Amino acid sequence: MTVYAIIGGTGLTQLEGLNIQRSLAVDTPYGQPSAEVVIGEYAGREVLFLARHGHPHRFAPHKVNYRANVWALKQAGAEAVLAVNAVGGIHPGMGTGHFCVPHQVIDYTSGREHTYFADDLEAVTHIDFSYPYSEPVRQRLLAALAAEGHAHSDQGVYGCTQGPRLETVAEIARLERDGCDIVGMTGMPEAALARELQLDYACLALVVNPAAGKSTEVITMAEIELALHAGIGKVRNTLQRLLAQP
């Protein structure tokens, strides 16, 4: 049975319903992870959980130690990763409260430690990243969303920006021209690092606000927090549904 790790993003610093058995403070060659790796029983199976931004939420997207986080999960026994991300909606069909299971990503970040293949190499290493998300895990997420009756899109392009500020209207217009459907700040380099460590990886993205210029309203953190509060139960239900399957 596949050992799943859940990486919780904004709004999911704890996994309600997880029967915690132990926590691991994993030392990595890349520094300290955002939080301890929590190991427990969830939906009848062993699951690992890591809060991407720490618990409490304290690491901004550009300050997350993605290399340490993914390495720690691999060392703790993870074979596949379910990444939960809060995003803004660019495509007209990606309204607040909508779920997207992206099939592609465009990386607009800069200055992040984005690879394990950087130093003391005997040979240059390249990975195939043509299809950044594991299709079998994507299909499991989609089946769980459908079974729960949650509105969702079965594909989408995730544009990952640097943060921590939100984007300008012109930047969102550029992302839209590039083909992005949703925008977030944490999708990369997490997905690529998982691929480097041969971990199956897929993203469950919850739209928590219209992207800049996609609404006449000013984007506020209060609005985002309301959307997170409304949607996080659906996130948990979806994860439970997926994990309850063999």
User: Do 85 and 46 touch, CB atoms closer than 8 A?
Assistant: no
Known binding residue 186? Answer is yes
Known binding residue 52? Answer is yes
Known binding residue 185? Answer is yes
Known binding residue 25? Answer is no
Known binding residue 168? Answer is no
Known binding residue 210? Answer is yes
Known binding residue 238? Answer is no
Please, what is the end-to-end C-alpha distance for the chain in angstroms? 7
Query: What residues are designated binding site for substrate?
Result: 185, 209-211
Query: What residues are designated binding site?
Result: 10, 52-53, 185-186, 209-211
Query: What residues are designated binding site for phosphate?
Result: 10, 52-53, 186
